Structure 1
Amino acid sequence: MVGCLCVRDVGIIPDIFKKCNVWISFTDNICHVVDRSESPPPALLIQTPPTPPPSPGCSQDSAGSHPSEETELNIKLATFHLLSTALNEYVQEICYGCQSGHPSQLQHSCLFELPVFFFEIYYDEVMEKLRTPRFIPAIRLFVCSYSVSEAKAQIISTAERLLCELRSVPHIVCTTDENVGYLLNTNHHSRGVKSALLHMIGNYWSGRHKTEAFGDILREGRVPEKLQTDLGKEFYNKHLKN
């Protein structure tokens, strides 16, 4: 039972309220009387205003959203290696000597040092070649060889952040080579294993693992009539054509 009573002096409380099992409070000369036997204490009656949702720009990462230090290093190592592979393939694509099969090394621009800020100038073209459907799965394959499976979003975030930082690097080839060497030397015991795994994910990223399998089939004289694919470009690369 809840009742309200107007009083002139909030300091005067009728004895009957003192003897009853009630809660008494005053607000603007209004005496609020609450039956304690039916209602919870006033502190429990106060409704806490709902917490407003965080703004998009101030969202906080949930616990465990950041990969461990070892996992982050492995993600960066795989990203450096795949970027180096993509750069090498793109440089060969725009090389006049490679495209024409010219015998003179002087006509092969891919053999010379890349111009300063080459990656920044051709960033979109290199990224288009790098971001194949197997880019993130290749990194994840390398990471899962040494640690528990990481969320795809964490791998994408770490890899994209690294690529953005590398965009303004003057000498991209030297930077990637130095970082791959440094990250491999962080663990001398697994350097040989990691080098082999980097080679493996490079073949997986470029589709060479399927190329080798098709090579065995074609060398046997078997020619498939139909191919069911995921629209990947592994059947159009120079390795399969040769």
Structure 2
Amino acid sequence: MELLDSDMIKFVNASGETSLKYDESPTLMLKLGGNSKEAAKLLTNTVKVICKENNNKSFRFAESEEEKFELWNARKVALWSTINYGKQKIDEDVQLWTTDVAVPISKLCTSLQETKEAINKAGFYSSIVGHAGDGNYHAFILYKNTPEEYEKAKQVVQGMIDRAIAADGTVTGEHGVGYGKRDYLVEESGEDAVSLMRKIKFSLDPNRILNPDKVFKIDPNEPEEESH
């Protein structure tokens, strides 16, 4: 079950990457199946009823391979459509901050709404796509290539992460912890858990040569380097 917010649909339509034009509304895309055509049809009808009960705007069903490709192509071109939109609306040197978090499904709607509001308040063009079935979503934030815009985008992402942790979620669902999120891992799991991870790594990598400092600092007391 994939989610595309209304801005993502807008960017896809503007890109011309798809032959179809989509309603510029928050959109859920679902792949449904069963052990027979009858079972799949029954499941589809059940989902259609649930969507109607929750005031969906429209329900489109694709059965042929061509129809399936057209519908899912919007999700596949999401990233490039966002970048191209930024180049048109901001400038050719537009920067893209792409990040993700995951939260319990029961808290997904609230987390999405709060993140979207924070991005809009900061004045950024952005789009959101998500794997709604497991509470994981990605934000694509477009910003000008200036230190000020970078810092503002960084604060928006920090808020997104803080809210995810507060909702009993995780700082990243798929992108992984690297230089950019290793400090957030401490916020999520605590010093003791990260210290245990470090000991396990040292037992497998005694020479400390395999991706050092990527998920956590090899030396936790090492001072932070200034970034420019």
- What TM-score, normalized by structure 1, do the two folds share? 0.25
Q: Looking at secondary structure, tell me which structure has more strand per residue.
A: 2
Q: Looking at secondary structure, tell me which structure has more helix per residue.
A: 1
Of structures 1 and 2, the one scoring higher in RCO (CA 8 A, sep 6+) is 2
- What TM-score, normalized by structure 2, do the two folds share? 0.26
